[in-house]
Amino acid sequence: MKKIGATLLIAAIGGAIALGGYKLFENRQLDRMTFEEQQRVFYANNPGAEIMSSTGNPDFTQAAAAVTPGVVHITVTSTARGSQRGGGEPFDLFEEFFGMPQQRRQQPRQSTGSGSGVIISPDGYIVTNNHVVQDADKIEVKLTDKRTFEAKVIGRDANTDLALIKVSASNLPIVKLGDSDNVQVGEWVLAVGYPLGLESTVTAGIVSAKGRQIGILGESQQQQQQRPRGFGNPQGQEEQMINTAIESFIQTDAVINRGNSGGALVNARGELVAINSAIASPTGVYAGYGFAIPINLAKKVLDDFKEFGSVKRGYVGVTFNEINEALRKEVGIEDVSGLYVRDVVKGGGAEAAGIRKGDVLTKIEGRTIESTPDLQERVARLRPGDKVKLTYKRDGKEKEVAVTLTGEQSKTAANESAGGSASGAEIFNKLGASFVPASDAKKKELGVNSGVVIAQVHRGGLFEYFGYESGLVITEINGKPVSNVDDIESALSNTRRNMINIVAVPRRGSIREMNVPLQQQ
């Protein structure tokens, strides 16, 4: 009996060790997966009844019930400084010229805004719009079960109007990622969010169009690219403003209003096909036209945020115009669709593939190019170094080539904005930066045991103000070693007297230490 008992005990211990080792391996594997791959594992382990697409009389009760718990209400608090007399008055410049005390000239103003978000992983990653959280000092997320969490920004991108935020929670309800390429014009869709200050709201409509370009992100980009007063061009030349925005919206007549931004657009099977972003309206409220960001574009951007802290965008290396009657007459071509190549970037992928000025781009990955979004949205799903098949026409003959995408070409690429009792998450957002863990090789190179790399510095945050740059490795905050974004938030929660102590290592044997005040004039 003793031998049997000992054998059973050894077997139990061995089983526990094996199970623990498997769980540790499984967690590490999940961290390396994309959000879509993580969801496949989740649904494989948590199978549910398949939601069937409606036929006959529409019935969206199953889809609404499945999606609603995973769509959250986001409340944003931000602080802006403006003149006591009101912006734009002549007295502002007069007082500044004569040295009026800054405390009198500028008064902090706190404002709040709201939007929606979609939970895409059980451990708290949430997708929303960039314009919902871009000026946030504090972000509060409220679920349909009334639980509230404070969120931190993982990454933002003004070019796509997407943002990824995270709350510290587990076992959260998620919305299943769909395939926006399979969305058809005329298909039923539901918009889920928190419009006009209301609680969770579901509306229904159809897909009215795909690949819409409405110019709303381009306008935002041009405003953000304006130089601050006092920073002139040394050569006295105006720097050309380049619109790097990517617009390929899904248009729907499902009712979308203020507050729906960042919410879910799902098909009748309850799959997330787009992120609600904008409306076209002369009154500012719903007038029949809503626009949402395709989820297939969002997947790549969100995975970039998680892995790199910023978007890794690939470029073909051409400037182009959509073909219309005026262009046909100007350059003497007969093509009625496609993109006319105005110029080829020297050293870019298109030049290496043999594309030249005057060519007409007709297809990408075998799909006909009718307008700008057909090219931009497909390329935006890829990273530098990826290859894409392009078909171009020259002298009436078509040729297909593989173009290797290159990295950022334009020095005018858009920067972003970011913004006390302050929690760790609130202070994290005020830093105005995105971070990724330092690799083992990088830590070995610098001779450190911990560290996070600044992936991106956003305009208007503390890091930009105090001169912190992308690529710098931060090893300690407030005396605590930091190795990931959760460590940063935890360390920032120990901030005392509105002063953050930051230790960075620019190179081996060199330490840069700075006390950063939370409030600067």
> C-alpha 340: how far from its chain's center?
30
Q: Please report which helix (H) or strand (E) contains residue 510, including its range.
A: strand 510-517
161 flagged as catalytic: yes
Alpha carbon of residue 494 to chain centroid: 28
Q: Identify any residues that bridge with 156 across adjacent strands, giving them in sequence order.
A: 163
Which one of the listed residues 92, 135, 161, 304 is annotated catalytic? 161
Could you tell me if residue 309 is left (phi over 0), alpha (psi between -120 and 50 degrees) or otherwise beta? left
Tell me how far apart the alpha carbons of residues 177 and 120 are, in angstroms, rounded to a whole number. Answer: 8
Active-site pick, 261, 277, 310, 417: 261
For the chain, state the CA radius of gyration: 26
Give the start-end residues of each E strand in 395-468.
Answer: 397-404, 433-437, 452-457
| Secondary element (H or E) of residue 158 | none
Name the catalytic one among 92, 116, 131, 277: 131
Per the annotation, the verdict on 131 as an active-site residue is yes
Which residues are bridge partners to 116 per DSSP? 73
Lookup result for tokens 């407030």: 478
For residue 203, the surrounding DSSP H or E stretch is: strand 201-212
Structure tokens that stand for 474 in this block: 């931060």
Could you please report the per-residue DSSP string of 182-201?
G--TT-EEEEEE-GGG-SSE
| Cα 103 from Cα 500, distance rounded (Å) | 23
How buried is residue 358: exposed, middle or buried, by Cβ count under 10 Å (0-12/13-18/19+)? middle
Active site amino acids: 131, 161, 261
